[in-house]
């Protein structure tokens, strides 16, 4: 079961939203830039970049969640699989993004408590 859920996380991670967005526009962003939020911003503007980044973060969270719920001690494997899928996607010839946004989403599921402290301006 753990191996199947890790493979599921890899497959979900392999859906690179920046590439899908650029292909909907009739191009391939990888010809000019990386398919993450910053590359999408440079090529298509702010709203496209925010959409791609938000969906990549959500993708990382959704890829990690099933294994985190069913086998919490193996959550690290789901996090790594989701990020690996984004960086080396099965569906796009192994050429993906940098993996920062899916890592943020996966870590939000794997370790949700440190995030408010990271975003807080209050000094402890």
What are the residues whose beta carbons fall under 8 Å from the beta carbon of 122, sequence distance 6 or more? none
Give the CB-side neighbour count of residue 98, counting CA atoms within 13 A: 11
Pair 62, 55: CB distance under 8 Å: no
Tens-digit pLDDT profile for residues 90-101? 887 878 788 899
The per-residue pLDDT for 57 is 94
Give the CB-side neighbour count of residue 110, counting CA atoms within 13 A: 19
- Where exactly are the structural domains of the chain? 2-119
Length of the chain as a residue count: 124
Return mean pLDDT, the chain: 88
- CA separation for the pair 93, 26 (Å, rounded): 18
- CA separation for the pair 46, 36 (Å, rounded): 12
The per-residue pLDDT for 99 is 87
94 vs 42, more confident: 42
Tens-digit pLDDT profile for residues 108-122? 998 877 666 666 665
Pair 82, 102: CB distance under 8 Å: yes
The pTM for the full model equals 0.86
H-state helical runs in 14-110? 17-24, 37-44, 46-70, 75-87, 100-110
- CA separation for the pair 55, 57 (Å, rounded): 5
């Amino acid at each position: 079961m753990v191996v199947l859920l890790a493979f599921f996380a890899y497959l979900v991670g392999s859906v690179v939203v920046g590439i899908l967005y650029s292909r909907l526009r009739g191009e391939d962003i990888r010809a000019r830039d990386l398919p993450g939020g910053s590359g999408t911003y440079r090529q298509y503007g702010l709203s496209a970049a925010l959409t791609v980044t938000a969906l990549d973060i959500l993708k990382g969270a959704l890829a990690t969640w099933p294994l985190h719920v069913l086998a919490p001690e193996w959550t690290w494997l789901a996090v790594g699989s989701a990020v690996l899928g984004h960086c080396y996607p099965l569906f796009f010839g192994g050429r993906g993004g940098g993996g920062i946004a899916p890592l943020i989403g996966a870590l939000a599921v794997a370790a949700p408590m440190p995030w408010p402290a990271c975003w807080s301006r209050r000094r402890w």
